[in-house]
C-alpha cells in the first residue's frame, strides 16, 4: 500500500474495500518468515462480510455495541479463508490458528482476549461501569480497537500497551502491509487504564 493511500484511510466501507482488494493481491505471493506468531498463508482471501442480522447477533454475543467503523469492517470482510500459520521459529511443530478474528468462529477467543487484557490491567466490569472506562475489542491477536470517541487502535499484550493506529483501517493496514511510514503518535496509555482505576 502506498503512503498516500495509507494516509487517506478512514473508517468508510470504501477504505475497507481498498484494504481487501490490495491485501488479497499482496497475499497471492507470500513467503513465510521463520519466526514466532501467526502469519498469513499464501493465497489467503477474506471471507464474505456480515449481514446486518449477523452484526446484531455478534454484538449481542459480546454484549458490546459496535461503532460504525467496526460495523463497516465486518460488513466488508470477516476473517480469512485460511488459518494463520505459526512455525514456532523453526524450532517446533507448526500450529494453526485465527489471524483476523471472524464471526461466529472466534467469539470465544475474542471474549478470552478481552478478559485476559482486563485482568492484566486490573480492570473489572465495575470499574468500567463506574469510572467510564471504554470497552475494548480485539480484531487480531493483541490489537484492540478502543470503543471511545477517538477509536484509536492499541497493541495490548497484558499490561504492555502501545499506540498502533489512529483508526481501525490504519491499524489493520499496518498488520498486513510492510508499512514503514506508519503514523507515530505519543499517547499516555496510563491515562487509558491507570487513571480510570487509580
Beta strands in 39-127 (DSSP E): 46-48, 77-80, 84-86, 95-97
For residue 93, give Cα distances in angstroms to 40, 98, 111, 141.
Answer: 17, 17, 27, 20
The reported pTM is 0.86
Q: What DSSP designation does 89 have? A: G
State the cell numbers at 57: 447477533
Strand partners, 154: 144, 163
On the CB side of 168, CA atoms within 13 Å amount to 27
Closest to 183 measured CA to CA, from 160, 164, 157, 156: 164
Work out the number of other CB atoms within 10 angstroms of the CB of residue 4.
Answer: 8
State the cell numbers at 47: 471471507
Q: What is the pLDDT along the chain (198 residues), one digit of tens a residue?
A: 888 999 999 999 999 999 999 999 999 998 877 777 888 989 999 999 999 999 999 999 999 999 999 999 999 999 999 998 888 777 878 888 888 999 999 999 999 999 999 999 999 888 888 888 899 999 999 999 999 999 999 999 988 999 999 999 999 999 999 876 455 554 454 555 554 444
Residue 66 and residue 10 in contact, taking contact as beta carbons nearer than 8 Å: no
Amino acid at each position: 500500500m502506498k503512503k498516500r493511500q495509507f494516509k487517506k484511510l478512514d473508517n468508510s466501507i470504501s477504505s475497507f474495500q481498498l484494504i481487501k482488494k490490495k491485501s488479497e493481491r499482496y497475499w497471492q505471493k507470500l513467503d513465510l518468515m521463520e519466526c514466532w506468531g501467526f502469519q498469513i498463508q499464501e493465497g489467503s482471501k477474506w471471507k464474505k462480510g456480515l449481514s446486518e442480522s449477523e452484526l446484531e447477533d455478534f454484538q449481542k454475543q459480546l454484549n458490546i455495541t459496535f461503532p460504525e467503523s467496526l460495523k463497516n469492517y465486518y460488513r466488508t470482510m470477516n476473517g480469512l479463508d485460511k488459518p494463520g500459520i505459526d512455525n514456532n521459529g523453526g524450532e517446533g511443530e507448526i500450529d494453526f490458528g485465527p489471524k483476523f478474528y471472524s464471526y461466529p468462529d472466534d467469539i470465544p477467543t475474542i471474549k478470552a482476549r478481552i478478559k485476559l487484557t482486563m485482568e492484566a490491567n486490573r480492570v473489572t466490569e465495575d470499574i468500567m461501569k463506574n469510572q467510564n472506562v471504554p470497552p475494548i475489542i480485539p480484531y487480531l491477536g493483541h490489537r484492540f480497537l478502543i470503543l471511545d470517541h477517538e477509536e484509536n487502535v492499541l497493541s495490548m499484550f497484558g499490561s504492555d500497551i502501545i499506540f498502533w493506529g489512529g483508526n481501525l483501517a490504519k491499524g489493520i493496514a499496518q498488520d498486513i502491509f510492510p508499512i514503514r511510514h506508519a503514523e507515530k503518535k505519543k499517547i499516555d496509555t496510563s491515562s487509558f487504564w491507570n487513571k480510570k482505576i487509580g
